[in-house]
A = this chain, B = another copy of it.
Amino acid sequence: MLTDEMELVSVDDHLIEHSMVWQDRLPSKYLELGPRIVETTERTTNFMGGSAEAGSEVWQYEGRIYHQIGLGATAGRPTEEINTDPVRFDQMRPGFYNSKARLEDMDLDGVKVQLCFPSFARFAGQTFLDGQDKKLSLLCVQAYNDFVLEEWCAAGPDRFIPMIILPLWDPGLAAMEMRRSYDKGARAVAFVENPAPLGLPSFHTDHWDPVFNVAEETGLVMCTHFGTSSKPPITAEDAPIAVRIALYGCNLMYATVDLLYSQVLHKHPQLKFALSEGGIGWIPYIVENADYIWERHWYHSKLNRDIRPSELFRKHFWGCFIEDEHGLAARHEIGVDRIMWEGDYPHSDGPWPNARQHVADMMKDVPDEEVQQIVEGNARKLFSFPRTA
């Protein structure tokens, strides 16, 4: 069971970039084109189906409009008030976008450490792939990373695991940005679950080797949040949004098999992937099936024959869950040392402000030493983020 000495380390949360993240950091000639908050003058719609009334606060970047989606800013709101409409900063709790206030919300929640993905920048920084001016895109990526490393995490160096984004359009630049950020304290990279749907070379090329080489050298963990291929699991255009929300975990199944059957893990034996927000209950099925299909189809599919996919998985992957009764029951099949917990603050699927009670309830029949691994130890080890004295 969960004991008082255990500190909750959540490995999937979200920060909402405040309005000055880029305006504070971009060179003056880019302030107009770079990301800034504007009020809309007419109704607009976004890719999640939400619509914005005139007068909404939205991001403007190179003239394009990006909504702040309501599903990303819901902690503490009742189910009936959760929707995909955009939200204004004055409708949000300060903890959504201010890291000092975030610390207070974490204290309320009983959470010691968070690992925060971006929001406007998208979970792996895909927004800056949209940029027409790639010089500006690179400055935007660096500005975000400097914001995370120097501002967001500085409010609590023992409370936030520093995670950066990459200039996804150029693996050489990405490798340089990883080194630059690692030297400033980065421990994790928000990386894409699958580059191919983004129009980038797939994991079945050597395109990403510069990125993976630096990840191996530095120990930076590649955190692939579901949805970072920018390809949602849509069954039908007229299906309720909840269908894709419930199926997003399939994106991580795709990522897992795609990587297991690629050469990536054979070429980069030190690489570490953390699969974010997809739960863990699917892992035994996918990994067992990956072995089964590998045994039958390795020849015509030209798969590596030396290492079983299940062995690769146990070496290279970590999963996490908010609530996953089946996954927790199957923890010994998955590997207790591969499982972490997440609070998903301030999204609609997290337990805030009751994380500690929520975790205690889930874990009441799990032996203490396994709870310690899942809620704290595995994450601290994976991200090289030990307790401070």
Contact = CB atoms under 8 A, between A and B. Distances in A.
A84 interface: yes
Nearest to A287: B326
A297 interface: yes
B79 A239 contact: no
Most chain B beta-carbon neighbours within 10 Å: one of A243, A255, A348, A349: A243
Contacts of A288: 281, 324-326
A100 to B, nearest CB: 28
A249 interface: yes
B302 A240 contact: yes
Contact of A79 (B80, B258, B299): B299
B242 A254 contact: no
Interface stretch (A1-9, A16-24, A125-133, A202-210): A202-210
A229 to B, nearest CB: 9
A326 B246 contact: no
Contact of A243 (B242, B258, B292): B258
A82 B303 CA distance: 14
Contacts of A302: 240
Contacts of A330: 326, 330
Contact of A82 (B235, B245, B300, B348): B300
A250 interface: yes
How many subunits of this chain does the assembly comprise?
2
Contacts of A294: 242, 246
A247 B240 contact: no
A117 interface: no
A373 B83 CA distance: 44
A77 to B, nearest CB: 11
A241 interface: yes
Interface in A59-94: 79-80, 82-84
A10 interface: no
Contacts of A196: 235-237, 239
Nearest to A295: B79
A284 interface: yes
Contact of A239 (B261, B282, B297): B261
A296 B238 contact: no
B261 A253 contact: no
A204 B240 contact: yes
Contacts of A56: none
Contacts of A241: 297, 300-301
A23 to B, nearest CB: 32
B285 A242 contact: no
A238 B205 contact: yes
A233 interface: yes
Interface in A245-271: 245-247, 249-250, 253-255, 257-258, 261-262
Interface in A308-363: 323-327, 329-330, 333, 348-349
Contacts of A238: 202, 204-205
Contacts of A235: 194, 196, 202-203, 254-255, 257-258
B285 A239 contact: no
Interface in A269-297: 279, 281-282, 284-286, 288-290, 292-297
Given A82-B297, A242-B301, A247-B254, 10 more contacts: A194-B236, A204-B240, A242-B297, A242-B298, A245-B293, A247-B257, A284-B326, A288-B326, A296-B349, A329-B333
24 contacts: A79-B295, A79-B296, A82-B299, A196-B235, A202-B235, A202-B239, A203-B239, A204-B240, A205-B238, A242-B261, A242-B303, A245-B297, A246-B289, A246-B294, A247-B253, A247-B254, A250-B253, A279-B285, A288-B324, A288-B326, A292-B349, A296-B349, A326-B333, A329-B333
